[in-house]
């Protein structure tokens, strides 16, 4: 989940950079301005639309990161999270670590 949040964060940063560029240069992609949620009184440029999309994606990436960290901490306190097969495969059982020689 952390990897996903990092990927979403990078994409959000790219969108925010592109939106800032489009907004600063007043560049209209396709020569069109779109209405915000169908409201003809609120007209957004292409740069503003990309900034809104990048901001929402950044918020989603931050939420994903916090959920992953919380899940990781909970797993350290109470053992592996049910369904977290990767952690169960990487942590060997205590019986398997011991020496099995006969005396």
Q: How many domains does the chain have?
A: 1
Identify whether the C-beta of residue 73 lies closer than 8 Å to the C-beta of residue 83: no
| Domain extent at residue 15 | 2-91
- Report the percentage of the chain scoring pLDDT > 70: 60
Structure tokens at 33: 């301005």
**What torsion do the CA atoms of 28, 33, 34, 40 make, to the nearest 10 degrees?**
160
9 belongs to a structural domain: yes
97 belongs to a structural domain: no
Q: Which pLDDT belongs to residue 56?
A: 95
DSSP 71-91: HHHHHHHHSSPTT-HHHHHHS
CB atoms within 10 A of CB 15: 19
Average pLDDT over residues 65-93: 70
Q: Tens digits of per-residue pLDDT, 4-46?
A: 999 999 999 999 999 999 888 887 666 666 666 666 677 777 8
């Amino acid at each position: 989940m952390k990897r996903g949040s990092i990927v979403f964060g990078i994409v959000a940063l790219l969108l925010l950079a592109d939106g800032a560029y489009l907004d600063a240069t007043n560049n209209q992609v396709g020569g069109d301005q779109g209405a915000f949620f169908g409201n003809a009184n609120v007209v957004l440029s292409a740069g503003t639309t990309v900034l809104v999309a990048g901001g929402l994606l950044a918020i989603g990436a931050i939420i994903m990161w916090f959920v992953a960290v919380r899940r990781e901490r909970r797993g350290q306190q109470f053992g592996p999270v049910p369904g977290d097969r990767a952690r169960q495969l990487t942590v060997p059982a205590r019986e398997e670590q011991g020496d099995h020689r006969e005396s």
